[in-house]
Chains A and B, each alone.
Chain A
Amino acid sequence: MQLGVVENLSYLTPEILLTVTLGAVIALDIGGPKDRKGHVARLAATGIAASILMVLLTAFEIESHQRARVFLFADSFVVDPFSLFFKLLAGTCAFLVAMFAAKTRRIEAHGEGEFFSLLLVTTLGLYLMAGVADLVGLVVAIETLSIPSYVLAGFYKRDRGSSEASLKYVLFGATASGTMILGLSFLYGLAGTTSFTGISSAVADGRADVLSVTLMLGLVLVGFGFKISAAPFHMWTPDVYEGAPTAVTAFLSTASKAGGFAVLLRFFYTVLARPEAAANPAGPWIPLGDPGWTSLVAVVSVITMTIGNLAAYRQTNVKRLLAYSSIAHAGYILLGFVVLHGSGIVAMLFYLAVYVFMNLGAFLCVIAVSEAGGGEELSDFRGLGWRAPFVGVCMAAFLFSLTGLPPLAGFVGKVYLFAALVDQGWVWLAVIAALNSAVSLYYYVKVVKAMYLEGIPRHGGEAVPLRVGGHFALLLFVCLLPTLLFGVYWQPLQRLAEWSVGARVPAETRAASR
């Protein structure tokens, strides 16, 4: 069915709300009262929370009308469970990051208004990325995310590390985007249309020849690989993550990465594959044109996780260590991508959801420690478990969850990924990934070791307590809860992931929406 403009907009309430909040934040920053400490942060957080609510409402709307997907603006934008899942994820990340940032003193000093308005733009970009179904829209959405991200990375203006991070990010980002856009333009030339579904049928019909499509794929993968920091496009990650303000790093490593996976999945699983049975996207998929890209992605995934894990060994800066760990995790998540089966996508979504909480939590611990007067080096974490018991326990839980030990959520996520692989016959890949995750224990434990095994107070002596504010403790708890809960009972999250893939929603045929 063709929707009118107003109906179109009604599906975009989350995005509209974010834009309105953005305007309000800028207005408050420029024209608000002088003594407005914290107002901006509160406004931004409220706006994001409201947009999350709107996402949920849209989800109910779609569910109640039994619509698989709604195409907006001449098929360039789609609202479906998949996009809503990623909006939910991005919104949650943005909300948590906004809450972290609200209590980071240095961000306050550098201008809250700028920070939160930029954060809102990136969030808007992520929302758009979740729903694009068109090449032009794709570019616009990615750049909406990227450009403010570059600025955010260099937010500490006089800090050399931060400026370096920003510059590196811009240079790498621009190159990657340029390469990707080149690929996309070829694709347009081959297919004669910018809509994903249009290109998909061109590929299926054989109108686009295999060699060109493969070449184009390589180019496009550069752009996506950069966003999710997959090898060999991961080089920017450690420097940017280390230099950027920690709140920004947390955002980049979770929300931004999730956004990258959203477009990656949407693009490849619309353009280059379709479900074997149209009504069952949770079942097996068949590749269109050249199926070689699954092997390519498998190799990329192995290299990514191995490089991430090996390089993380020698890091002494916790942020840098977590940066390499996030590279490794991009590798794990890519595993779900290669199996060409709905279970793989479900596993990816599941893992992303879990990963967001544990990784945000880990970075939050870093923020909490440095705000309480510690630092970001491994040596600053010495004896943390004794000095700030709650932060220590949380950090340990997040790190072990990242390692993939039960009964924590990260374990379940990994089991899903490995299960998808084993189910589809990629056992060798599962073995490599499993060994990789065992090996990763070593560097995660380095942090745990610093926190608990070093700096133990001598007998009779008390550790010098590190005072961490209640605000941070609460946020830590918010991240800790899903990390623990989904490790013991994860059925609801699995249902959500399956719903997002469209497992139980009767799919509306595309003809109807034309």
Chain B
Amino acid sequence: MNHLLSLMTFIPLLGALVILCLPRGKDELVKAVAACAAGIPLFLGYFLWKGFDRTTSAMQFVEKFDWIPMFNIQYSMAVDGISVVMVLLTALISFICIFASWEVQKGVKGYFALFLLLETGMMGVFCAMDFFLFYVFWEVMLLPMYFLIGIWGGPRKEYAAIKFFMYTLVGSVLMLVVMLVFYFNVTDPATGKHTFDLLVLKNQEARHGVLLLENVRFLCFIALFIGFAIKVPVFPFHTWLPDAHVEAPTAISVILAGILLKMGTYGLFRIGFPLLPDMANKCAVFMGVLGAINIVYGALCAMAQDDLKKMVAYSSVSHMGYCLLGMGAMTTAGFNGAMFQMFAHGLITSMLFLCVGVIYDRVHHRWISRFGGLATMVPVYTGFVTFAFFASLGLPGMSGFIAEAMCFIGAWQNGTPLYQKITVFSTLGILLGAAFHLWALQRMFLGEKNKIYTEQYHHVTEINGREIFCLVPLAILVVLAGCWPKPVLDMMNVSLSELQSFVHQYKP
């Protein structure tokens, strides 16, 4: 299977085109096509999983063609340990989200076509090994996301959509300029031409011109970091996130939190660290501090929310902080922890948002304080929510625990007193995380029924089969990865160790 990655990337696009050609009013057919178009990449993902060589950090499943030879832009797709996990996660979550979107009423054709286009963009970002191609996919994602939030979103959807769009675009145009700076100041030793190939760009010997200046490199790293930090989102660039997550329809919130946020940290792993390892070292502590702020500040914000979805959104801010903390540590364990947290959080937050969607579909509001005693009315749903909350707060035996523990261990191994202080401070996040999850759980599900608002939810129905179908695979994976994380860690470990030692060489 030579074109596995291209197939995984472009079959959704093909599906989108097919959907656009379908006649009006055939909503069921549209959904079926969408499910197939998202299902095939997941199926192919199995071969990726089987065929992936876990013993090497080299690029695998490589596809390389000249795209625009005059500019030496290549269509270059490949995966290594850093991206393969994300590719698989994308395939899985996209597939699940098709079913989570089953009840979309208006503009069904448009919704699923845009959704599949979005999947193509996400897959492409994780597979592209050419900076230009990466950038194209990175931006291609924005358009469908804008429409998906803006058309199918909640009451403040217009504001949320444009805020998301503007934030990300400002970040990415900075990235564009950095990309061009690299292009013109790196010459591929093999061909003597300028190149966008990420593997060549990280070759420090191939550089000349302004890239030899430390200040330029520093500015480049800052620009890249802002571009990626907006996506993560790192405090203080996080303000788009609560708006976008809250207003987006359920499935899109899942995609946003489950995959899009990871692109920021993935971008740092794929581009920021390898291309500018010396600057990455220099800014490491800074990243750790931002990570700690994310963890604690995100958790505190989450605790203050009365809107369940907003609480979950802020919990994402908090959890992405662990990634940052692990990355800033510059240790193999830290990198592994960050990567594993990306995977674990992708699963857990998807569950959380799906659970929020379930109750919202029935009651049409999400105010925590207007619920109470739900456990007696919808016990199965309560079970799923409890499971997701416990996973999210890092209960041992679930994937979140492993990830957070590894991040902390990695951060501690960094060894400098300052970083250890940051680490200790960050552990506060675990406590706060437990607090807001349990508090919400208690207010919504336990205790007496809410006396004032009982009317609003007394007819609430139990979680249905479709919703269970969406949640169960995620739950299984959360437990599996929590009890036996080795298969996942094995996939990424070699590449991350390689990256770590590469970055470590340039430590001042």
Contact = CB atoms under 8 A, between A and B. Distances in A.
B426 to A, nearest CB: 33
A279 to B, nearest CB: 20
B174 interface: yes
A457 B150 CA distance: 14
Contact of A418 (B146, B150, B177): B177
B180 A459 contact: no
Interface stretch (B133-141, B314-322, B383-391): B133-141
**5 closest Cβ pairs, A-B complex:** A434-B173, A422-B180, A406-B136, A438-B173, A453-B150
A459 B105 contact: yes
Given A441-B166, A453-B158, A491 B70 contact: yes
Nearest to B67: A489
A354 to B, nearest CB: 15
A427 B181 contact: yes
A441 B165 contact: yes
A462 to B, nearest CB: 10
B169 A438 contact: yes
B173 A453 contact: no
B176 interface: yes
Given A405-B143, A442-B166, A491-B69, A430 B177 contact: yes
A262 to B, nearest CB: 24
B210 interface: yes
Interface of A: 386, 400, 405-407, 411, 415, 418-419, 422-423, 425, 427, 430-431, 434-435, 437-439, 441-442, 445, 449, 452-453, 456-457, 459, 489-491, 494-495
A411 B139 contact: yes
Contact of B147 (A411, A437, A452): A452
A422 B181 contact: yes
Given A405-B139, A405-B142, A418-B177, A445 B165 contact: yes
B184 interface: yes
A456 B107 CA distance: 9
Tell me whether chain A's interface is mostly helix, strand or loop, or mixed: helix
A427 B173 CA distance: 13
B177 A406 contact: no
A349 to B, nearest CB: 14
Given A415-B176, A435-B173, A494-B71, 17 more contacts: A406-B140, A418-B180, A422-B181, A423-B184, A431-B174, A434-B174, A437-B173, A438-B166, A438-B172, A438-B173, A445-B162, A453-B151, A456-B107, A489-B67, A491-B70, A494-B70, A495-B70
Interface in B147-187: 147, 150-151, 157-158, 161-162, 165-166, 169-170, 172-174, 176-177, 180-181, 183-184
Contacts of B50: none
Contacts of A452: 147, 150-151
B459 interface: no
Nearest to B220: A427
A459 to B, nearest CB: 5
A449 B158 contact: yes
9 contacts: A400-B143, A425-B210, A431-B177, A438-B169, A453-B157, A456-B106, A490-B68, A494-B68, A494-B70
Nearest to B161: A453
B162 to A, nearest CB: 6
Contacts of B150: 449, 452-453
Contacts of A453: 150-151, 157-158, 161
A422 B106 contact: no
A274 B238 CA distance: 50
Contacts of B107: 386, 456
Given A425-B210, A445-B165, A453-B157, A406 B135 contact: yes
Given A400-B143, A419-B184, A441-B165, A427 B136 contact: no
Nearest to A442: B166
Nearest to A441: B169
A332 to B, nearest CB: 13
B20 to A, nearest CB: 9
Contacts of B158: 449, 453
Contacts of B176: 415, 418, 434
Contacts of B157: 453
Contacts of B210: 425, 427
Contacts of B166: 438, 441-442
A163 to B, nearest CB: 37
A456 B111 CA distance: 13
B170 A427 contact: no
A457 B106 contact: yes
Interface in B336-363: none
B68 A407 contact: no
B106 A419 contact: no
A441 B68 CA distance: 27
Nearest to B223: A431
A407 B73 CA distance: 14
Contacts of A411: 136, 139
A459 B107 CA distance: 9
A337 B183 CA distance: 21
Contacts of A489: 67-68
A441 B168 CA distance: 11
Contacts of A494: 68, 70-71
B136 A407 contact: yes
Contacts of A449: 150, 158, 162
Nearest to A494: B70
A442 B162 CA distance: 8
Contact of B184 (A422, A439, A491): A422
Contacts of A418: 176-177, 180
